[in-house]
Structure 1
Amino acid sequence: MNNIPTLPDWLQKIESYVRQFCELQQIENQIATTLRVPSTEETATHMAVRLAAEREIRSRKDYLAEFITLSVIEQFRTNGMLSKYPELHTSRNEK
């Protein structure tokens, strides 16, 4: 028998975004060791390239993470698990 779990429709809609996020994490880990050199050997050009690559990956991951998070939150609202504006529960409110 095939034991692959089937995802709900709402998760299937964001699956490609989750895959992209995971791929970016993998790329980030792979290039981290390649782009890192001892600071005494790093030139300004090398640093600029490294920082640009790190920023680009980070910004794409941030966008995907926000999209995925908002999709999950919207599903909670759709299921009636959250009101439109839920009460915030923080340590400052618990006095």
Structure 2
Amino acid sequence: MSSIREFKADINSLCDNVQNECYVELMFGVSNEIELVWSIMVRCEKLKVETLHKINSKEPKKLSKKQRREHYKKLVDDFYSQTIELIEDLNSIIP
């Protein structure tokens, strides 16, 4: 697993990319699913805030090294799977 700093940078860049794609779809897209695009943007921002909050919490520091590694691995896996779900939702809207 990469460092926590790199994971935070990945969170910010992936969420920014998803939100940028949503803005592009809102501005130049041909679909009329504006509310769905906005809901994807809101879900993405919520995912970003929640994941960063979980990373910055003091709870994992009380765990052993192995448990911390498992905790962060689970966070990484959950974040990436939810990000892929957001991208798939956005792609399903685009004709």
Equivalent residue letter for 1:22 = E
Structure 1 CA distance for aligned equivalents of residues 87 and 55 of structure 2:
20
Name 2:41's counterpart in structure 1. Answer: 18
1:20-51 deviation line (CA, Å, top 9, x unaligned) = 111101112222233776xxx96111211111
- Does residue 44 in structure 1 map to residue 35 in structure 2? no
RMSD: 2.7
Mapped to 1, the partners of 2:55 and 2:32 lie a distance apart of 35
The answer for unaligned runs of 5 or more in structure 2 is 1-25
Q: Which amino acid aligns with 2:72?
A: R
Which structure has more relative contact order (CA 8 Å, sep 6+)? It is 2
Pair 1:62 & 2:84 matched: yes
Report the counterpart of residue 93 of structure 1 in structure 2. Answer: none
Contact kept? 1:17, 1:64, Cα under 8 Å: yes
Instruction: Give aligned pairs, total.
Output: 64
Q: Is 1:34 aligned to 2:57, yes or no? A: yes
- Displacement, 1:55? 0.9
- Flag structure 1 segments of 5+ consecutive residues without an equivalent: 1-6, 75-95
